[in-house]
Amino acid sequence: MLKTSAAGLNPIPKKREYGRTLIKKRRNSVLTENFYKNRKSEVWMSHQDCVTKLPNNFYTVASSKSSKYAILEHKNKSIFGIQFHPEVSHTNRGIILLKNFVFKICNAKKNWGTLNYKNNIIENLRKISKSEKIICGLSGGVDSSVTALVLSKAVKKNLTCIIVDTGLMRKNEFKNLYKIFKNKYKINVKLVNESILFLTKLKNVTEPEKKRKIIGKLFVKIFERESKKIKGVKYLAQGTLYPDVIESKSVTGSGTSKIKSHHNVGGLPKKMNLKLVEPLKDLFKDEVRSLGSSLGLDKKILYRHPFPGPGLAIRILGKITPEKIRILREADNIFMNELKKYKLYHKIWQAYAALLPVKTVGVMGDTRTYEHTCLLRAVTSKDGMTADHFYFPKNFLDNISNKIINNVIGINRVVYDITSKPPGTIELE
Ligand code: XMP
């Protein structure tokens, strides 16, 4: 039984529990085999509502200090209830619990692997596009690159990839991308420069969701315009992943609240002339990388840190100007080069520089400065759903701060973000 408000909509935040919590074993259960150490296990709680009464025929398997019924089990049916999040990496042995459920309780067979979903995706794409043409937005990130490659395996002659230069990409972003896809993979690629359009539409816009929506709409407008130039285009393919879908809307119709509009899902207009194809929408990042590897994707692209569709627009907090883009590009480029030089890049799931909407006073030589603040973010994660900040060796942070301030005119302060996800998100907007 869940405690909810009178209208039944918003749970009363009575037994709120948040963060790492110890739960204690009360009874044996197949679900919790090998889950405890000394009858205890650390789990991630994140709830405002709670089970207040044990339903008929259920017993308690484990409890925490605040949640008496942290795990429940039916007396004679395979029905379980858990109050915490076994799926996040902060639940230390959550994977054991999930494996027990899938293999020991549901008796599922382990037949979900790269080859399996690769063949399913290719087969489905061939069913969708027998003769109709598909255009695919290609940004050079892992997701869109794998989307383009899997499409080319399935329906190469029907595919055109469009690279849109939004003016919001990182330094040297498009260098080689066009060449790799055109020459190495022999895919039909078109490069469109729309940086002035993007910057004009984003002028003076500060609200993060508004930025995302504007960018999403512009992408669709450009893709629709480009599609009219090619006869028989019916579909627009995008590299949407499962976490993007979860965070953009409630996929299951459940109470998952919207966190942000990922430009390739929540940012799309309701009415669109092209039908959407999202071949990766059931996959997590590690599965996408494994699919990309099996398709022979260039390693430089395959192991790049994720980069969001709206690009630097959501890493320049507040108003976006060409000058701020220049400053951020330089800082981010220095950060990436240093990470590679110190062999830290591949130890980190995602790292980037952002520009905060604050200026602070500093002193350089004999001169007073009043310049921008650069925020550095570097996180470890398995799938982007949860993340922890990366522990840099102290010297690295000293060096990078000096290097950015000395080389980028317009920045006089560097800060490092140590917020985990949750409560933060990986991006700032
Ligand atoms: P957050 O900020 O939600 O990010 O913790 C999780 C992962 O998703 C990426 N991200 C995006 N990717 N379009 C994308 O293709 C988007 O609009 C978008 N917003 C966030 C983010 O970089 C991180 O890897």
Q: Report the SS3 class of residue 60.
A: strand
| Boundary of a domain, candidates 268, 302, 336 | 302
For residues 382 and 408, membership in a common domain is answered with yes
pLDDT for 249 equals: 58
CA–centroid distance, 167 to ligand 1, in Å, is 19
Closest alpha carbon to 222 in 305, 287, 106, 309? 309
Is pLDDT at 254 greater than 60 in this prediction? Answer: no
CA–centroid distance, 86 to ligand 1, in Å, is 22
- pLDDT for 284-310, tens place per residue? 888 999 999 999 999 989 999 999 989
CATH classification at residue 368: 3.30.300.10
For residues 206 and 330, membership in a common domain is answered with no
- pLDDT average, residue stretch 330-349: 97
Is 428 inside a domain boundary?
A: no
- Atom 9, ligand 1: residue with shortest CA distance: 308
Q: Are 418 and 425 in contact (CB under 8 A)?
A: no
Pocket around ligand 1 at a 6 A CB cut-off:
244, 247, 260, 262-264, 306, 308-310, 350, 384, 421, 425-427
For residues 152 and 52, membership in a common domain is answered with no
Mutate to test the pocket of ligand 1, among 240, 244, 289 (most ligand atoms within 8 A of CB): 244
71-74/80-82 β-pairing: antiparallel
Is 290 inside a domain boundary?
A: yes
Q: How many CB atoms lie within 10 A of CB 139?
A: 24
For residues 43 and 168, membership in a common domain is answered with no
Show the tokens assigned to 427.
């991006």
| Boundary of a domain, candidates 274, 302, 330 | 302
In this prediction, what percent of the chain has a pLDDT beyond 90? 72
143 Cα nearest atom in ligand 1: 15
- pLDDT average, residue stretch 130-155: 93
Is pLDDT at 251 greater than 50 in this prediction? Answer: no
CA–centroid distance, 308 to ligand 1, in Å, is 5
Domain residues for 195?
114-302
Is 422 inside a domain boundary?
A: no
Q: Report the SS3 class of residue 189.
A: strand
Amino acid at 100: N
H-type alpha helices, 249-383: 285-294, 299-302, 322-341
For residues 410 and 324, membership in a common domain is answered with yes
CA–centroid distance, 49 to ligand 1, in Å, is 28
How far apart CA 55 and CA 339 sit, in angstroms, is: 53
How far apart CA 249 and CA 133 sit, in angstroms, is: 28
For residues 80 and 223, membership in a common domain is answered with no
How far apart CA 258 and CA 109 sit, in angstroms, is: 33
Is pLDDT at 258 greater than 70 in this prediction? Answer: no
How far apart CA 22 and CA 64 sit, in angstroms, is: 6
Least confident of 36-50, 243-257, 359-373, 401-415: 243-257
CA–centroid distance, 266 to ligand 1, in Å, is 12
Domain count, the chain: 3
Is 130 inside a domain boundary?
A: yes
What Cα–Cα distance (Å) separates residue 116 from each residue in 111, 290, 294, 297? 7, 12, 12, 18
For residues 189 and 282, membership in a common domain is answered with yes
| Boundary of a domain, candidates 87, 105, 123 | 105
Show the tokens assigned to 49.
């509502």
* Nearby residues of 153 by Cβ (< 8 Å), 6 or more positions away: 122, 295
Helix (H) or strand (E) holding 398: helix 394-407
Length of the chain: 429
Strand partners, 275: 235
Closest alpha carbon to 281 in 250, 256, 311, 244? 244
For residues 191 and 323, membership in a common domain is answered with no
Q: Report the SS3 class of residue 215.
A: helix
DSSP state string for 31-51: GGTTT-BTTEEEEEEEES--B
For residues 188 and 335, membership in a common domain is answered with no
Dihedral sign of CA atoms 354, 215, 145, 421 in order: positive
pTM: 0.79
- Atom 12, ligand 1: residue with shortest CA distance: 308
259 Cα nearest atom in ligand 1: 3
Residue 2's pLDDT band (boundaries 50, 70, 90)? Answer: very low
306 Cα nearest atom in ligand 1: 24
Show the tokens assigned to 129.
């596009």
How far apart CA 111 and CA 180 sit, in angstroms, is: 33
Which residue shows structure tokens 């379980």? 80
Q: How many CB atoms lie within 10 A of CB 223?
A: 22
Is 311 inside a domain boundary?
A: no
